C-alpha cells in the first residue's frame, strides 16, 4: 500500500496535534482550578457547610432572607419577653364604684380594659395615664344610661400602668379602690393597673 499526498497531509496534521504546546502545563492547572469552583464540583476533604460556594442566591433574595430571619427572631424574642414580663399577674376587678376591669382578654396583644368612674353631676370626664401620654384631652369617658357612671374601653399593653380621671377639666381624681402609687410625685397620687397575660388588675 502506497501513501498518497492526502495521507501525508493527514500525518502532518496528526504530528502537529501531538506536539506539546508552550505553556500547556500552566493552562492545564488553570482549567482544573476553574473546574473546582464550578457548581456541583466535588468538595474534597470538607462538608458542604464549609464550602464557600455551597449557598448561592441573588443579593436581593439573600437580603430578604436575612430580613425575614431577623424579623422572626425579633418577633419570637418579643413574645418571649412579653411572656416573661408579667407572668403571674392576676385578674382582679377593682371594687365599685370606681373600677378598671378587663372587658376581654387575649393571650397576645393588648387587653381591653373597661374604666368606669362614678361622677354624678359631672359634665365631662377624661382618663389620663401613661398609656395615652397623660394627654388630658385624649380619652373621654361616655356617660352611661344611669347618668352617674362614666365608662371607656381601652386596649392596653401588658405592664404596669398609672392613671387618673379628670372631672370637668380641673379635678384630678384617683380611683380609690385601685392600688395606689406609693408617691404623690406632683402633689396627687395615681392609681395603678397591672395588665398581664390573664387580664388586668
Interacting residues toward another protein by CB under 8 A? 52-53, 55-59, 62-63, 65-67, 70-71, 74, 81, 84-90, 92, 95, 128, 130, 133-136, 158-160, 162, 172, 179-183, 185-190, 192, 194, 196, 201
CB of 5 to another protein, least distance (A): 57
CB of 55 to another protein, least distance (A): 6
What gap in Å lies between CA 149 and CA 98, rounded to an integer?
9
44: its cell numbers: 474534597
Residue nearer to another protein on the CB measure, 39 or 121: 39
- CA distances 180 to 113, 128, 175, 184, Å, are 18, 15, 8, 9
Residue nearer to another protein on the CB measure, 113 or 128: 128
Residue nearer to another protein on the CB measure, 47 or 59: 59
Residue nearer to another protein on the CB measure, 9 or 75: 75
46: its cell numbers: 470538607
**β-pairing verdict for 199-200 and 159-167:** unpaired
* DSSP sequence for 103-136: EE--SSS-EEEEEEEE-TT-S-EEEEEGGGTT-T
Residue nearer to another protein on the CB measure, 148 or 179: 179
What gap in Å lies between CA 131 and CA 134, rounded to an integer?
7
Q: How far is CA 48 from the centre of its chain?
A: 32
CB of 178 to another protein, least distance (A): 8
CB of 71 to another protein, least distance (A): 7
CB of 114 to another protein, least distance (A): 18
Amino acid at each position: 500500500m502506497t501513501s498518497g499526498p492526502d495521507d501525508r497531509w493527514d500525518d502532518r496534521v496528526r504530528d502537529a496535534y501531538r506536539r506539546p504546546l508552550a505553556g500547556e502545563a500552566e493552562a492545564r492547572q488553570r482549567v482544573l482550578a476553574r473546574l473546582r469552583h464550578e457548581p456541583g464540583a466535588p468538595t474534597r476533604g470538607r462538608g458542604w457547610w464549609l464550602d464557600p460556594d455551597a449557598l448561592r442566591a441573588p443579593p436581593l433574595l439573600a437580603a430578604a432572607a436575612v430580613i425575614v430571619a431577623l424579623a422572626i427572631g425579633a418577633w419570637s424574642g418579643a413574645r418571649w419577653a412579653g411572656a416573661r414580663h408579667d407572668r403571674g399577674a392576676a385578674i382582679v376587678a377593682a371594687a365599685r364604684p370606681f373600677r378598671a376591669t378587663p372587658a376581654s382578654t387575649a393571650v397576645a396583644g393588648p387587653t381591653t380594659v373597661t374604666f368606669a368612674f362614678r361622677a354624678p353631676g359631672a359634665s365631662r370626664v377624661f382618663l389620663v395615664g401613661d398609656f395615652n401620654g397623660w394627654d388630658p384631652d385624649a380619652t373621654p369617658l361616655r356617660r352611661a344610661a344611669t347618668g352617674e357612671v362614666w365608662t371607656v374601653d381601652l386596649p392596653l399593653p401588658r405592664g404596669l400602668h398609672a392613671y387618673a380621671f379628670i372631672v370637668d377639666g380641673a379635678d384630678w381624681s384617683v380611683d380609690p379602690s385601685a392600688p395606689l402609687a406609693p408617691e404623690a410625685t406632683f402633689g396627687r397620687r395615681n392609681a395603678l393597673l397591672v395588665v398581664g397575660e390573664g387580664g388586668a388588675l
